[in-house]
Structure 1
Amino acid sequence: METILFDVDDTLYDQLQPFQQAFHSVFPNLTDIPIEKLYVSSRRHGEQLFNKSERGEISLLDLHIHRITAAFRDFNIEIEDEKAVQFQKVYEKAQKQITIFPEIARLFDLLKENKKQMGILTNGPYQHQLMKVHRLGLTKWIPMENIFVSEAIGSAKPDPQSFQIVEQKMQIDKEKTVYIGDSFENDMIGAKRVGWSAIWLNHRMRKLRETSVTPDKIVHSPEELLKYVVTNYLCS
């Protein structure tokens, strides 16, 4: 049986929206910063320290402070730690209002209708990611036993172990498994290392890194992803 697994953040919903809400609320006077570039920068800085946070080497609070202060520093702006903490609180509150991309919801409907096995593998604190799972209504399509969060399984992407845990729990055939995500480092590199196919939802138009890892397909929008999966996994 073919299995299709998904990342959550900025793959199933637009993570830029709550980020923008928090930015405008906490930094209303900073009108010259390209917010999407700031967001991409913060994601990059966060991913660089995420595994240290998972291992308990730094606190989650320190990670949150670092990723936004470092992102601002990329634009030659210094912000105080107190502002970073305030931003994180507003950001988390805004995340409670996220909505699934309509094209992803349609894709889930079609995959379920065609009896494709689906799953989720996401990095992050369990309760926070679980809140997103319920907010997005993912259990309508995907059973809870097929939803894996790094804190709960004890391993985070791109560590091959996190993907291997999913393989074992879901009893999937890696040669018939595809992973879809927005992060090249976590999602594409991680999935390809364990022999899965990988589709990069690069809707932030990030540059492809110079690496031996190549995604099986790069799409640039949820609409393009929907068309590609339907054509290649449902019509073949």
Structure 2
Amino acid sequence: MTLQKWHQAVFFDVDDTMYDHLEPTRGALQHILGLDDSFPYESAYHRIRYYSDKLSAEGGLLHRAPGTAELEDMRIRRFVLAMQEFGSELTWEQATRLQAEYLDRQYKITPFAGAKELMKDLANAGYLVGLITNGPEEHQLHKIRALALETHVAPEHMFISGAVGYAKPDPRIFAAVNDRTGTNADVCWYVGDSWRNDVVGASSAGWKVLWYNHRQAAPETTEHSPYGTAASYEELRSFLLSVSQ
């Protein structure tokens, strides 16, 4: 098969880049634990995500199709460990119900305002538009379908770590995307919210990174730097479509 020669490509992260990843977390914590508005939901979200990445990496869960039991164990443990930091000792049963509620809400997500419109306009401007996301294949595909992103991204341009065999920030996942799409690193842009996974991973692979820093986080290292930073899809649109001119 001869691959099309692309002059520019933009790939997007999914979690907390295409939609607000905090919302299903907040809703689950409120519903199961009865927390009020004074609880530091965003801080807890970051710690839950930290333990999700940590436990997944330790168990090698992002590079393959994990078993149902080991995946469920990781998901429950991340809530137990994270909530301990906020003075809440969850029972395993509480954490199990919390995970179930969170998962249900994950499949009722909506895209950030302007996200799908930007993808459409980039494609019309001649970009290859794709997704690169960490996680088990079927779980991430559920979210992609919930967001209706398949209307803007061809299946062959969706790359999920559990299917690819490498996970961000490993630069090999970006190299694999280049190989499978016939693109070169120097024409590829990556848009993502995570400093560790997205900025470090993509820049290490020679890609240009736009850090979607809508949570106003501080950079985690000084060894890497994004090509640009945006806090909204309006800013991403202004940057990316001006580049294509």
Higher mean C-alpha displacement, 176-185 vs 53-62:
53-62
Secondary structure, aligned partner of 2:86:
coil
CA shift for structure 1 position 16 = 1.3
| Matching residue of 1:11 | 17
TM-score by length of 1: 0.93
Matched AA of 1:204 = R
Secondary structure, aligned partner of 2:114:
helix
Quickly say closer, same or farther: Cα 1:195–1:29, change in 2 above 3 A: closer
1:25 and 2:53 correspond = no
CA shift for structure 1 position 65 = 2.0
The match for 1:51 among 49, 57, 71 is 57
Distance 2:37 2:244 in 1: 45
Distance 1:77 1:63 in 2: 18
Percentage of identical aligned residues: 32
1:215 and 2:226 correspond = yes
Q: What runs of 5+ residues in structure 2 fail to find an aligned partner?
A: 1-6
Distance 1:183 1:132 in 2: 18
| Matching residue of 1:180 | 191
Matched AA of 1:207 = A
| Matching residue of 1:113 | 124
1:61 and 2:67 correspond = no
Q: What runs of 5+ residues in structure 1 fail to find an aligned partner?
A: none
CA shift for structure 1 position 29 = 4.4
Distance 2:51 2:217 in 1: 14
| Matching residue of 1:197 | 208
Matched AA of 2:138 = Q
| Matching residue of 2:135 | 124
Quickly say closer, same or farther: Cα 1:222–1:66, change in 2 above 3 A: farther
1:40 and 2:46 correspond = yes
CA shift for structure 1 position 30 = 5.4
Distance 2:159 2:110 in 1: 20
The match for 1:97 among 93, 108, 130 is 108
Secondary structure, aligned partner of 2:226:
coil
Distance 1:31 1:14 in 2: 18
Aligned-pair Cα RMSD in Å: 1.8
Secondary structure, aligned partner of 1:40:
helix
Distance 2:23 2:133 in 1: 19
Quickly say closer, same or farther: Cα 1:178–1:77, change in 2 above 3 A: same
Higher mean C-alpha displacement, 208-217 vs 8-17:
208-217
Distance 1:40 1:79 in 2: 18
Secondary structure, aligned partner of 1:102:
coil
